[in-house]
Chains A and B, each alone.
Chain A
Amino acid sequence: MVRYVANKFFYMLVSLFILISATFFLMKAIPGDPFMSEKKVPPEIQARLMEQYGLDKPVYVQYFKYLGDIATGDFGISMKHQNQEVTDIILQTFSASLKLGLIAIVISVIIGILLGMLAALYHRKLIDNVAMILAVLGIAVPSFVLASLIQFIFGEKLGWFHVMGFDGPLDYVLPVAALSAQPIAFIARLTRSSMLEVLHADYIKTAKAKGLNWMAIMFRHVIRNGILPVVTYIGPMTANIITGSVVIEQIFGIGGIGKVFVECITNRDYTMIMGVTIFYGVLLMLARFITDIVYVLVDPRIKLTGGKEG
């Protein structure tokens, strides 16, 4: 187990290192320097600026300094919001996104599993069909379309919720709904197919034959084994929610990190882009790392040979 975890952790670090380096060198590959577009500055000031940002040194020196800074959590100063540290901006805006994302994850898991279980138990009946139609719709309709749609219907036309802004608890409803639609659909489909498989497994027949009552079979065998594949979805779900939140925050006017990301890309605020990219990268890789570990913990059948086959 320890070797397995260490192995996964090592590869996470390798990937992270590649991402960090790629970010650095890609940003360096952009022609010109960050102070070009401003009005003509005297060369002395230009040089002074370059020196202040460490841009006058050779690339490899900058690279190692950059690595060192990141290791201590210092992403530099935003190029557009002068005097503001990238790390500070990220930390300030992250809490709103974190709340939104966590609620969406919890809701997705609960509703998705319930929906998938119902569909499996009532296989080929009305509930199953309805659930699966919802699931296909959830996967196919892009989150930004859904977000605009429910914003229009429930915010604008019916007036049940605020169209924009993010103050009271009610304001969470629409963004969370838009954000969790796709994960719910995926989880429901995963749960359904694995539950169907489990329901027809021999050990369920054995349990029935032994006279175990229905509730015990459901809770001890079917559900426990049926929701296993959902664990593998933790990683992709985090990615899904993060990309989703970038758009959803934009649509609902929520001041989270997703909105900052869109802004810094449109402003070409390079230090900010690097910071948020690496921040997202760490988040996503951690999610995948946790998935790998949780999966082994809940499913002892997996062999610990350093990685899944195929």
Chain B
Amino acid sequence: MAANETTFTSVSAELTPEDFRKIGVDEKQAEIIQRESISAWKDAWQRLSKNKLAMASLVVLLLIVLAAIFGPMFAHFDSSTNDLLNTNQPPSKEHWFGTDDLGRDMFVRTWMGTRISLIVGLAAALIDLLIGVIYGGIMGYFGGRVDAIMNKFSEVLYSIPYMLVTILLLVVFEPSIGTIILALTITGWINMSWIVRGEIMQLKNREFVLASRSMGAGSGRLLFRHLLPNAVGPIIVTLTLSVPNAIFSEAFLSFLGLGVQAPRASLGSMINDALTGWMYYPWRMLFPAIIISLTMLAFNIFGDGLRDALDPKLK
């Protein structure tokens, strides 16, 4: 500013009225949008697709999911047929990942196990999402006393160590895929509800909400059409990061014998089964261990990338 003023005064002495003419701004020009407008989602996708690590993990995840769906079809073995003449065989042309202590084909079992681990992880994450969004949405939207009571309740529930509750539940109710998912979600939704609550609390005082409300929008419409869609970024990130948590928890439960029960197998229960003789039959441990590590790694990196892409303010 200061620089401009000095040049102006020094030049001003020589100015004549001819130096001034109307350029005439066509105000309609300002309305023309030069570039194609980019929606928030496209923008996020552009940022995400530039993140090589995140894209690589997305590819890895897709490959793992595809293998879990179609892998077992390529082998001519059944996941639970015993072959006691061929126990603990190393990987071969016949059995690509070797066989386990009952002669079951490890290739088929590994992908069946991946399938179950993924199902448990995804289902638990989705149930957390459902409960968390509803509970958190109500807390954040209504605020005040409703929020205080519901928040206190979730805090008390949260401070009970969730692994212990999960274990207790599975000791009482026999572990099956259903009860495992249920036990994992019994306190798993709290984190999601807090994220949603925080987002809604920030959003509900914004102008667009006021505008919508003044046009007569009801609570339900405000919450589901305006508030939640705007909070979807953090929700998706939390969802992505909670899948590997659930997969890990199920694997941990397998160690206690509370995971998926035989003849079904999850990656965790396969690793647990392999523990006893794994110095001699390392392949029994190796393949499930690699797949579970890759899955968790990919989910974590992809989740981080997603967070960077959806919320560029954060580092």
CB within 8 Å of B: which residues of A? 11-12, 14-15, 18-19, 22-23, 26-27, 29-30, 136-137, 139-142, 144-145, 148-149, 152, 156, 163, 193, 196-197, 239, 243, 246-247, 250-251, 261-262, 265-266, 268, 273, 277, 280-281, 284-285, 288, 307, 310
Q: Is B215 an interface residue (CB 8 A)?
A: no
Interface window among B43-51, B76-84, B107-115, B154-162: B154-162
Q: Is B97 an interface residue (CB 8 A)?
A: no
Can you list 21 A-B pairs with a CB-CB distance of less than 8 A?
A: A15-B156, A15-B160, A26-B171, A26-B172, A137-B297, A140-B244, A140-B293, A140-B297, A141-B293, A142-B292, A144-B271, A144-B272, A149-B289, A152-B278, A152-B279, A262-B255, A265-B258, A280-B161, A281-B161, A310-B197, A310-B198
Known: A141-B293, A265-B171, A273-B171. Is A280-B252 also a contact (CB below 8 A)?
A: no
Instruction: Please pick, from A156, A246, A250, A288, the residue contacting B159 in the complex, using a CB distance under 8 A.
Output: A288
Q: Which residue of B lies closest to A308 (CB)?
A: B155
Closest chain A CB from B246 CB (angstroms): 13
Contact in complex: B164, A277 (CB < 8 Å):
yes
Instruction: Please pick, from A196, A239, A307, the residue contacting B161 in the complex, using a CB distance under 8 A.
Output: A239
Q: Is B163 an interface residue (CB 8 A)?
A: yes
Q: Which residue of A lies closest to B285 (CB)?
A: A148
| Per-residue interface assignment for chain B, residues 273 to 305, with 1 indicating a CB less than 8 Å from any chain A CB and 0 otherwise | 001001100100100010011001101110010
Which of chain A's residues have a CB closer than 8 A to the CB of B102?
none
Contact in complex: A22, B282 (CB < 8 Å):
no
Contact in complex: B252, A239 (CB < 8 Å):
no
Which of chain B's residues have a CB closer than 8 A to the CB of A140?
244, 293, 296-297, 299-301
Q: Is B222 an interface residue (CB 8 A)?
A: no
Which of chain A's residues have a CB closer than 8 A to the CB of B296?
139-142
Which of chain A's residues have a CB closer than 8 A to the CB of B306?
none
Interface secondary structure of B, over-half rule: helix
CB within 8 Å of A: which residues of B? 155-156, 159-161, 163-165, 167-169, 171-172, 194, 197-198, 201, 244, 248, 251-252, 255-258, 271-272, 275, 278-279, 282, 285, 289, 292-293, 296-297, 299-301, 304, 315
Contact in complex: B161, A284 (CB < 8 Å):
yes
Which of chain B's residues have a CB closer than 8 A to the CB of A288?
159
Since A18-B160, A140-B300, A148-B271 are in contact, a sample of 14 more A-B pairs with Cβ atoms closer than 8 Å, ordered by chain A residue number, is: A15-B160, A136-B301, A140-B301, A142-B248, A145-B271, A152-B278, A239-B163, A243-B252, A250-B255, A250-B275, A265-B258, A277-B168, A307-B155, A310-B197
| Cα-based distance from A308 to B190 in the complex (angstroms) | 15
Contact in complex: A281, B160 (CB < 8 Å):
yes
Instruction: Please pick, from B168, B255, B256, the residue contacting A22 in the complex, using a CB distance under 8 A.
Output: B168
| Cα-based distance from A12 to B197 in the complex (angstroms) | 23
Max count, chain A CB within 10 A of own CB: residue among B169, B198, B292: B292
| Cα-based distance from A30 to B304 in the complex (angstroms) | 42
- A-B pairs, top 7 by smallest CB distance, nearest first, are A140-B297, A140-B296, A15-B159, A284-B161, A145-B289, A310-B198, A141-B293
| Cα-based distance from A196 to B150 in the complex (angstroms) | 35
Contact in complex: A156, B160 (CB < 8 Å):
no
| Cα-based distance from A265 to B169 in the complex (angstroms) | 12
Known: A22-B165, A152-B279, A262-B255. Is A142-B160 also a contact (CB below 8 A)?
A: no
Which of chain A's residues have a CB closer than 8 A to the CB of B197?
310
Q: Which residue of A lies closest to B168 (CB)?
A: A26
Known: A239-B161, A284-B161. Is A152-B282 also a contact (CB below 8 A)?
A: yes
Contact in complex: B169, A148 (CB < 8 Å):
no
Which of chain B's residues have a CB closer than 8 A to the CB of A307?
155
Contact in complex: A23, B159 (CB < 8 Å):
no
Which of chain A's residues have a CB closer than 8 A to the CB of B292?
142, 145
Contact in complex: A285, B161 (CB < 8 Å):
yes
Contact in complex: A265, B257 (CB < 8 Å):
yes
Which of chain B's residues have a CB closer than 8 A to the CB of A142?
248, 251-252, 292-293, 296
| Cα-based distance from A25 to B96 in the complex (angstroms) | 48
| Cα-based distance from A139 to B272 in the complex (angstroms) | 20
Q: Which residue of B lies closest to A274 (CB)?
A: B168
Closest chain B CB from A133 CB (angstroms): 10
Which of chain B's residues have a CB closer than 8 A to the CB of A310?
194, 197-198, 201
Known: A140-B296, A148-B285, A265-B171. Is A246-B256 also a contact (CB below 8 A)?
A: yes
Closest chain B CB from A146 CB (angstroms): 9
Which of chain B's residues have a CB closer than 8 A to the CB of A196?
315
Which of chain B's residues have a CB closer than 8 A to the CB of A268?
171
Contact in complex: B156, A18 (CB < 8 Å):
yes
Which of chain B's residues have a CB closer than 8 A to the CB of A22?
160, 165, 168
| Cα-based distance from A268 to B304 in the complex (angstroms) | 41
Closest chain B CB from A208 CB (angstroms): 21
Q: Which residue of B lies closest to A25 (CB)?
A: B172
Contact in complex: A285, B275 (CB < 8 Å):
no
| Cα-based distance from A106 to B224 in the complex (angstroms) | 47
| Cα-based distance from A288 to B164 in the complex (angstroms) | 15
Contact in complex: A277, B315 (CB < 8 Å):
no
Q: Which residue of B lies closest to A284 (CB)?
A: B161
Closest chain A CB from B14 CB (angstroms): 44
| Cα-based distance from A273 to B170 in the complex (angstroms) | 12
| Cα-based distance from A142 to B292 in the complex (angstroms) | 8
Instruction: Please pick, from A12, A23, A148, the residue contacting B275 in the complex, using a CB distance under 8 A.
Output: A148
| Cα-based distance from A144 to B169 in the complex (angstroms) | 23
Known: A26-B172, A246-B255. Is A141-B297 also a contact (CB below 8 A)?
A: yes
| Cα-based distance from A163 to B280 in the complex (angstroms) | 14
Q: Which residue of B lies closest to A247 (CB)?
A: B255
Max count, chain A CB within 10 A of own CB: residue among B171, B251, B293: B171
| Cα-based distance from A12 to B158 in the complex (angstroms) | 11
